[in-house]
Amino acid sequence: MNANQFIKAVAQLQGWREFTFLLALAERSFPNYALFADAVGLKTGAKMRLLLDNCWEMLEERPSESEIPKMLARLESLSPDVDEYDAYGVYPAFDFCQLLEQALLNRLNPAKHRASDATRLATATVMNFIELSEGDGLDEDELVRLLEQHPLMKEDKLFQRDLVLALKKQRTPTGRFVEETRNMAANNGISNLGIEL
């Protein structure tokens, strides 16, 4: 699947497939949130984990209409304010929150397509991290080369493509499929930035 085919396939995701795609992107970046929260002494990692788990459960049972706004409010209360922290880690942590918010908003209003923006956001998290950690002093061409060849970028691309292909093939969100997708996204606790819980 080339880049154009991937973009088109993401744009075609709907319903439970789009929700699962958004959730899987959030799951992959969850360690970025948990490690940031831990590093700055916020006691929110376990609460956010519970919220993310509750979202996965929505694939098997549909929540009541009133439940999702409550979950969105909970997410907002657990989200870090990027202006309050000097640490770079707040940005990937906040990106995770935005991905989870997109998943919840998808459940609230499934007609509005969100997967294309989410895939760009998830990829930008990785790009910004590489640029900050390894891109110092590089000109534009060198930076493009670094990003194209970087293992984290390759891994992120592969994960997102495999995810889309799996979703396209699957007819219904069976318990087994959801569990496999969730495990693939969780990546043994290693995030899209290669940091480990």
Burial class (CB in 10 A: 0-12, 13-18, 19+), 196: exposed
Distance (Å, whole) CA 8 – CA 93: 28
Residue 120 resides in a domain: yes
The answer to whether residue 113 is domain-embedded is yes
The distance from CA 133 to its chain's CA centroid, rounded to whole angstroms, is 21
Position 196 in a domain: no
Residue 53 forms part of a structural domain: yes
Whether residue 194 is contained in a domain is answered as no
Tell me, what CATH number does 75's domain have? 1.20.1590.10
Q: Per residue in 141-176, pLDDT tens?
A: 999 999 999 999 999 999 999 999 999 999 999 999
Weakest mean pLDDT among 61-75, 79-93, 126-140, 167-181:
61-75
How far apart are alpha carbons 153 and 39 in whole angstroms?
A: 25
Report yes or no on 197 lying in a domain: no
Residue closest to 56 by CA, chosen among 194, 177, 187, 190: 177
Evaluate whether residue 96 is within a structural domain.
yes
Q: How many domains does the chain have?
A: 1
Domain coverage including residue 47:
3-189
Residue 15 lies in a domain: yes
For residues 74 and 92, give the distance between their C-alpha atoms in angstroms, rounded to a whole number: 19
Please state, in angstroms and rounded to a whole number, the distance separating the CA atoms of residues 150 and 94: 23
Residue 177: predicted pLDDT: 97
Q: Name the band, by pLDDT with cuts 50, 70 and 90, for residue 63.
A: confident
Asked whether the predicted pLDDT for residue 45 surpasses 90, the reply is yes
Q: What is the reported pLDDT for 135?
A: 94
Amino acid 91 reads Y
pLDDT in tens, 74-122: 999 999 999 999 999 999 999 999 999 999 999 999 999 999 999 999 9
Helix axes 90-108, 45-57, angle to 10 degrees: 30
Residue 61: half-sphere exposure toward Cβ, Cα within 13 Å: 6
| Residue 144 backbone dihedrals phi, psi, to 5 degrees | -60, -45
- What's the predicted TM-score (pTM) here? 0.97
